[in-house]
Amino acid sequence: MRRGIYKKKITLFITMMLLLSFALVGCVPKSNSSSSTSKTEGKWAGQKIKVQMIGDFAMEDKTDPVTGETAKGMKVVKEEFEKQHPGATVDFVLMPWEGYTEKTQAMITSGEADVYQMPGVADFAPQGVLEPLQPWIEKDKEFSLDIFIDNQVDGWKALGTDSKELDIFGLPFLGDTRFIAYDKKIFDDWGVEYPSENPTMEEIAEKAKQMTGKNPKTGEQNYGIWFRGDWSSAFTLVDLAEGQNGTWGTGFAWDEVKFNLDSPEMLNGLNWLLEMQKYAPKGIVSNQGNEKWLSKDNNIAIMLNQGPGDTVKPAYAQGLGDRIGIVNEFKNDEGRGGLFAGSPITIAKSSKNKELAWEWVKFATSDFVQKFVFEEYGAIPAVKSATEWESVKEMPLMLPVFKAMETPMTPRYPWGSSQPRFILTSEIEAALTGNRSAEDALKKAQKESTEWVENR
Amino acid sequence: MANNSMEAANTATQSVNTNTHTESKTMKQKKRSSQWTWYIFLIPSFLGILLFMVYPIAESLRLSFFKSNGTIETFTGLANFRTVLTSGPFWNSVWNTFYIGIFQIIITIPLGFIFATLINSVSKGKNFFKVLYFLPNVTSIVAAAMIFQFVLHPEMGILNYILGSLGLPTPGWFSDPATSKWGVILLAVWHWIGFVIIICLANLQAISSEMYEAAKIDGASGIQQWFFITIPNMTGTFAFLLITGWIGALQRFNEVYVVGGPNGSPARSIQTMGAFIYERGFTGFEFGIASAATYIMFIIILIFTFINLKVSKMKI
């Protein structure tokens, strides 16, 4: 009798556990991950790596919501890598940009993947969780850093656990940059000359002023300029300071960082933004007012601090590729300035198959993958050879993008995703909304950022 | 012969007793074992609670005493609590949370109650109005926040268009720190009012009609009935709405994150306590500070809920 009850209990328990397991397995979206069993033949037999990627990537084919075109899935890349590396298996963990920092942190802490796409490499390298890549580069005679667009490798250098020297922990995978975009039609309507390749603050201000008001041809209200007064305003302001040969400060390791947020160049930059606000639509501090940009009814002449992802492919998709122009952000006398952005790939220190992980890093920076992610997903390549691709030549807007990628400030701003950025952003917003004078706002930002660094 | 029959009877009685005893024992065992069976059913949810609630709560408490970026940890004692409690942005976020919460509650509960009374008094179309008012509540707050950004657009928004047509000033809403909190309050009121109406309606329908009939016989007017019968009978519901409303308001995160990002743009004017925790934890890798802020927020909610319970005299 007892044995019968005991058996029933066990059966019930096992059934419950199985149901729970099925439910959990069923919850994992098929399209966002891939897994395969190990292979037993070939040079890389039995070796398996897991690669984490961030963005709009999908394993299966999917339709682009902007262009309506079908994008091939990452399974193509997987098949090619496994073909080139017999016996090897690569699995993917694909995630969206939303919350990628915390997800990456959780994954790397638990040793979930071997290779990571990691824009926050400067934050992870000091944790000692990343493999330094310099020895791998030196050991591999076939590989050269010359394949990358100038400045891209330097931009991703970071400090290791106890190091005082910047080191390579990530290689450029996806390119990104910031530039000034403009609408040629509005310039033509107003009879204003297009911005020069490296415009100054005075030039942009003058042109923005000229093109604010009723369009002489269409009679519609036009605005000379637009910039985000919230999320990315700290980068816009720092670029303005760099355009006057100023800096945000110095240092890379936190104990060496010295802020210079209330410098005369920063103050001049913020006052310039306050002046430019007069020629912008309402709503710049809430990311509003630019709704018509990249539409045929666009009413904004100049857009500051734009990125290629939101500009190039959408412009061609709307049939406005010829109407949009791109010029550099504000640069210092050495031709440098602006935010360094993009995504490097890194190898986790905990990876058990580092040889194969390194093979993946090389493969991901090869023309095959770089071209694939550009053509299928609109991701910006980080390699010089991209300028020769037919698909790039079909989009002439890509050429100034590649140029802009060569000249941002490197290494990446160490405060780019930390408290000082949010402190500065909030103070710029306070100035733009008239809650504080430009001088007081920057003094407050300087004081609070310095205190934060001292207390961390 | 007689003795024999007596013995047989005794033996039979003993046997019956033993059988009854054994049966009752078996029944008890059965009961106990069937009780244990149900505990097995609870294991999955218990494991879930243990893994996804108890462990994070305990881990967060531990983290609040450490300087942690996720992998490297240093014990700092109460330093994180001191940092949070002396941080200007934290107290600003407390102020924002309470400001938005207070106005959401003092607008929504009375307004929802008035709407519920009106819906309750109509003879036709009751269900239509219930559905109409409850719809916002089943809408995702994230989607609603995005729509409200268009509705409250400073130049192209429908609300400013109406205000402008009436010759009234057109505020900047989310682009002005002076009005951004009111933008969030409008959104919160719109989203929550359907729930308040449904709860109030449920209570209104439960009030005995005999009370109203008796009041009518005594010559009470409609307003008098509302003040002296309806409202006193609604106190339990008001207390419930007050407490649940406050807990929700103090945890506010989703809509302010969609509208103003983690730092509550513009100028931290809509950054709530939840957003402050997110900003420090997930954008700056300051997990210790974020954990300490979480516990401070927990204590604030605890104290405030206790005060609410006392004020509303609600029994739990």
pLDDT in tens, A66-103: 667 889 999 999 999 999 999 999 999 999 987 788 78
Instruction: Choose among A8, A127, A433: nearest Cβ to B267.
Output: A433
Query: B4 — contact with chain A (CB < 8 Å)?
Result: no
For residue B1, the model assigns a pLDDT of 43
Q: Which of B265, B271, B277, B278 to substitute to test the interface with A, most A CBs within 10 Å?
A: B265
**d(C-alpha A454, C-alpha A175), whole Å:** 33
At residue A352 the predicted structure's pLDDT band, cuts being 50, 70 and 90, is: very high
Q: Do B200 and B155 share a structural domain? A: yes
Q: Do B94 and B237 share a structural domain? A: yes
pLDDT tens figures, A27-64: 554 445 555 666 778 889 999 999 999 998 999 999 87
**d(C-alpha A346, C-alpha A168), whole Å:** 9
CATH 3.40.190.10 assigned to domain A31-176+342-401? The reply is yes
Query: B122 — contact with chain A (CB < 8 Å)?
Result: no
| Final residue belonging to a domain, choices B63, B97, B113 | B63
For residue B34, the model assigns a pLDDT of 72
Beta bridge partners of A67: none
B71–A20 CB contact, under 8 Å: no
For residue A68, the model assigns a pLDDT of 76
Phi, psi dihedral angles at A43 (to 5 degrees):
-60, -35
Q: Please give, one letter per residue, the 3-state secondary structure of chain A.
A: CHHHHHHHHHHHHHHHHHHHHHHHHHHCCHHHECCCCCCCCCCCCCCEEEEEEECCCCCCCEECCCCCCEECCCHHHHHHHHHHCCCCEEEEEEECCCCHHHHHHHHHHCCCCCEEECCCHHHHHHHCCECCCHHHHHHCCCCCHHHECCCHHHHCCECCCCCCCCECCEEEEEEECCEEEEEHHHHHHHCCCCCCCCCCHHHHHHHHHHCCEECCCCCCEEEEEECCCCCCHHHHHHHHHHHCCCCCEECCCHHHCEECCCCHHHHHHHHHHHHHHHHCCCCHHHCCCCCCCCCCCCCEEEEEEECCCCCHHHHHHCCCCCCEEEEECCCCCCCCCCCCEEEEEEEECCCCCHHHHHHHHHHHCCHHHHHHHHHHHCCECCEHHHHHCHHHHCCCCHHHHHHHHCCCCCCCCCCCCCHHHHHHHHHHHHHHCCCCCHHHHHHHHHHHHHHHHHHC
CATH of the domain at B236: 1.10.3720.10
User: What is the SS3 assignment for B278?
Assistant: helix
B155–A283 CB contact, under 8 Å: yes
Give B279's contacts in chain A (Cβ within 8 Å): 422
User: What is the SS3 assignment for B13?
Assistant: helix
**d(C-alpha B134, C-alpha A19), whole Å:** 35
For residue B2, the model assigns a pLDDT of 45
pLDDT tens figures, B35-45: 778 888 889 99
A286–B37 CB contact, under 8 Å: no
For residue A31, the model assigns a pLDDT of 45
For residue A66, the model assigns a pLDDT of 65
Chain A CA closest to residue B35 = A9
- Residue B67: CB partners within 8 Å, gap ≥ 6? A456, B73, B74, B76, B79, B80, B288
Q: Which of A24, A288, A417, A448 to substitute to test the interface with B, most B CBs within 10 Å?
A: A288
| Contact of B96 with B270, CB cutoff 8 Å | yes
Chain B CA closest to residue A292 = B156
Q: Do B145 and B38 share a structural domain? A: no
For residue B37, the model assigns a pLDDT of 81
Within-domain flag for B76:
no
**d(C-alpha B131, C-alpha A34), whole Å:** 43
For residue A63, the model assigns a pLDDT of 87
Q: Do B227 and B196 share a structural domain? A: yes
Number of structural domains found in chain B: 2
- Residue A14: CB partners within 8 Å, gap ≥ 6? none
**d(C-alpha B170, C-alpha B155), whole Å:** 9
Query: B172 — contact with chain A (CB < 8 Å)?
Result: yes
Q: Report the mean per-residue pLDDT for chain A.
A: 92
Instruction: Choose among B172, B267, B282: nearest Cβ to A282.
Output: B172
B175–A282 CB contact, under 8 Å: yes
Give the domain A179-339+418-455 fold: D-Maltodextrin-Binding Protein; domain 2 (3.40.190)
pLDDT tens figures, A256-283: 999 999 999 999 999 999 999 999 999 9
A13–B155 CB contact, under 8 Å: no
Q: Residue B251 is part of which domain span? A: 86-312
Q: Rounded to a whole number, what is the distance in Å from the CA of B154 to chain A's nearest CA?
A: 6
Query: B181 — contact with chain A (CB < 8 Å)?
Result: no
In the stretch 7-26 of chain A, residues with CB closer than 8 A to chain B read 8-9, 12-13, 16-17, 20
Q: DSSP label at B281?
A: I
Q: Do B92 and B153 share a structural domain? A: yes
Q: Do B170 and B47 share a structural domain? A: no
Query: B41 — contact with chain A (CB < 8 Å)?
Result: yes
Structure tokens at A64: 């682009």
A435–B177 CB contact, under 8 Å: yes
For residue B69, the model assigns a pLDDT of 78
N residues, chain B: 316
Q: Do B125 and B33 share a structural domain? A: no
Question: What's the whole-model pTM score?
Answer: 0.86
Structure tokens at A153: 């490798």
Query: A429 — contact with chain B (CB < 8 Å)?
Result: yes
Q: Do B28 and B153 share a structural domain? A: no
User: What is the SS3 assignment for B19?
Assistant: helix
Burial A12-26, CB ≥16 within 10 A → b, else e: eeeeeeeeeeeeeee
Q: Is the ipTM of this complex over 0.85?
A: no
Within-domain flag for B112:
yes
**d(C-alpha A281, C-alpha A229), whole Å:** 11
Phi, psi dihedral angles at A212 (to 5 degrees):
-100, 125
A105–B280 CB contact, under 8 Å: no
In the predicted model, is pLDDT for residue A381 greater than 50?
yes
Q: Rounded to a whole number, what is the distance in Å from the CA of A127 to chain B's nearest CA?
A: 6
Burial A307-329, CB ≥16 within 10 A → b, else e: bbbebbbbbbbbebbebbbbbbb
In the predicted model, is pLDDT for residue A12 greater than 60?
yes
A286–B175 CB contact, under 8 Å: yes
Q: Do B140 and B269 share a structural domain? A: yes
Q: DSSP label at B313?
A: T
- Residue A70: CB partners within 8 Å, gap ≥ 6? A61, A62, A63, A64
B267–A455 CB contact, under 8 Å: no
- Residue A369: CB partners within 8 Å, gap ≥ 6? A77, A363
For residue A4, the model assigns a pLDDT of 63
Q: Do B184 and B90 share a structural domain? A: yes
Burial B253-275, CB ≥16 within 10 A → b, else e: bebbbbbbbbbbbbbbbbbbbbb
Within-domain flag for B73:
no
Within-domain flag for B177:
yes
Q: Do B144 and B16 share a structural domain? A: no
Within-domain flag for B247:
yes
Query: A430 — contact with chain B (CB < 8 Å)?
Result: yes
Taking 70 as the pLDDT cut, the residues of chain B under it are 1-25, 314-316
Chain A CA closest to residue B261 = A231
B154–A289 CB contact, under 8 Å: yes
pLDDT tens figures, A404-441: 999 999 988 999 888 999 999 999 999 999 999 999 99
Q: Which of B285, B287, B291 to substitute to test the interface with A, most A CBs within 10 Å?
A: B285
- Residue A170: CB partners within 8 Å, gap ≥ 6? A118, A121, A130, A133, A156, A158, A344, A345, A346
Q: Do B159 and B29 share a structural domain? A: no
Q: Domain coordinates of chain A in residue numbers? A: 31-176+342-401, 179-339+418-455
Q: Rounded to a whole number, what is the distance in Å from the CA of A367 to chain B's nearest CA?
A: 33
Give A435's contacts in chain B (Cβ within 8 Å): 177, 267
Give A128's contacts in chain B (Cβ within 8 Å): 71-72
A123–B285 CB contact, under 8 Å: yes
